[in-house]
Each structure stands twice: as structure tokens, then as C-alpha cells.
Amino acid sequence: MDIYRSAHNIMVKNEARIEVNNIISDDLIVPYRPRNYWKSDVSFKNGWVEKDYESSSLLPRLYGRISLNWEETALKRLRGIEGVPEYLGRPTRNSIRMRRVPGIPIDKLKAGEISELFLQRLQALVHQIHSRGVAHGDLHMRNILAHEDRAYIIDFSTAYTLGRVPIVDRGFFRIFRLLDLERIYKIERRFFGRGTPPEMFYIYRLVKGKK
């Protein structure tokens, strides 16, 4: 049975209200509300995904405009990179549209269900994103999709893009970049039982109780 079709049928049947990155389907065209108060409504249709804060209350809508601006800036800078959704436009100031990417979030997978090739491609993808002056900043496993040994990264709403805060730009970018690398290390450790952690910044080590 096709896992993506099966997951989609179950979702529609139960009228589930799930987050955008739990499943991405070709033909889900009805918007659904997320569980998280600060998340957008999401629609899938004709190969694209649309996030929309229009029906949110005031504070989430204001937050949404900021995060959508960050995502727009990041996706525009990452144009042409395979593994990143293609930016398609802003239908309104409270919404954004992007190309659908295939795959299932790797938090749904177990050790042995992703390959060495997938890990190598994921590491190369993150490096390529960083080389464009973008750091994701929220690279948890629900934002990483696997499809036939190919890696896809979604949800750049918290991404940091070089040039945002000129005076301390490099410092902020370094922090976000290290957070990405720490996530990749944790993924390697979870699925392959190995990995070398990056040398994290001082505040992170202080919070974690590390020297």
C-alpha cells in the first residue's frame, strides 16, 4: 500500500488537525487548523503548499507576518537547491505559497529505515544551505523529509539569513548554523549510533550544563 496515500486517507477520514510537516500530499485541498496557537492554517493543492495566518487572532497574525517574511527571504536565497521548497509567491501579506516536496518526516522512522546515502545527502544539503548565507534554526526531525534516499528540508519560518542584523550579523548566523549542526549530529547519533558533536556557543553549553 502506498504509505503517503494511506496516511492521507486516514487524515481526511478523521478530519485530523495536524501540523504542516506531518504529511505532504498531492491532493489535500481543504485548509486545516493546526494544534499550535501560533501556527498558520495550511492548504495543499495542485503541487503547492500555502501557509495562511489570515484567520488567526491579532498576535499570531503579527507574528505570522514576520515569520513569513523570514521564510520568503530564505527561500528566495535558496532558489535552485534541490531539497528546498521552491518559493512561489505571497498571495496576501498574511500568506505564502511554495512548491510541494515529497517525503515523510524522519521522526516517523526508526533506526535502519534511513540509509547512509540519505545521511550524506542531508549533510550536503545543510552545507549548501549554509553556503548561501541561510541557517534554518529549527532543524528538528519533523522538518526533515525522506523520500527514496533523498533529503528535503521544510519550514524556514525561523531561518536566519545573513544581512538581517548587520552589526551582529556574523555572530547570529554562527549561532543558528551551530544549532543546525547540532541537530544533524543528533540525527546521526539516533539512526547510526555515532557522530561528533559541534563545538557549541557558550550560552548553549551553559544552559546544557557543559563546560
For 83-110, what is each residue's pLDDT tens digit? 999 999 999 999 999 999 999 999 999 9
pLDDT top residue among 63 and 200: 63
Give the right CATH number for 104-208 from 3.40.50.700, 1.20.190.20, 3.40.50.300, 1.10.510.10: 1.10.510.10
β-sheet with 41-45: strand ranges across:
41-45, 48-52, 95-99, 87-89
The predicted-structure confidence for 112-154, as pLDDT tens digits, reads as follows 999 999 999 999 999 999 999 999 999 999 999 999 999 999 9
pTM comes to 0.80
Distance CA 32, CA 42 (A): 6
CATH number of 3-99: 3.30.200
Distance CA 136, CA 130 (A): 8
Distance CA 68, CA 95 (A): 7
| pLDDT at 35 > cutoff 90 | no
pLDDT tier at 21 (50, 70, 90 boundaries)?
very low
Mean pLDDT of 22-48: 63
Instruction: Give the gyration radius of the chain's Cα atoms.
Output: 17
| pLDDT at 168 > cutoff 80 | yes
Boundaries of CATH 1.10.510.10 in the chain?
Answer: 104-208
| Backbone torsions φ then ψ of 119, nearest 5 degrees | -60, -45
Cell numbers of 182, please? Answer: 547540532
Boundaries of CATH 3.30.200 in the chain?
Answer: 3-99
